[in-house]
Structure 1
Amino acid sequence: MGARRTEKMEEVKTAIEKDGGQAVHRKTDVTVREEVIDLVKFAETTFGPVDIFVHNVGVFYYSLMKNLHLDEWDKLVDVNCKGFLNGIAAILDSMVKRKRGHILIISSDSGKKSDPGCSVYTGSKFFVEGVVRGLRREVSTHNVRVTSIQPGEVDTEIFTYSKTDPEAEELYGSFPPNFKILEPIDVAKAVVYAVSQPDHVAVNELLIQPKDAPIIY
Structure 2
Amino acid sequence: MKLTSHLKDVISGKIYKQNTLLFSNADRIYRKTESWPDSDFLKHWIRAAIVSSMSILNDLIFEDFKVTNEQERVVNANSFKTNSQHLNERSVFELFKLLAGYHLTIFFKKERQLGLTQEEFEERVFSAFDFTRDDEKNYKELFLEYGSNPPRYFGHLFDQFFTKGYELPYEDKRTEAATVFFFESLFQSYSAFLKVLQENISNL
Tell me, yes or no, whether TM beats 0.5.
Answer: no
Between structures 1 and 2, the one with greater helix share: 2
TM-score when normalising by structure 2:
0.27
TM-score when normalising by structure 1:
0.26
Between structures 1 and 2, the one with greater strand share: 1
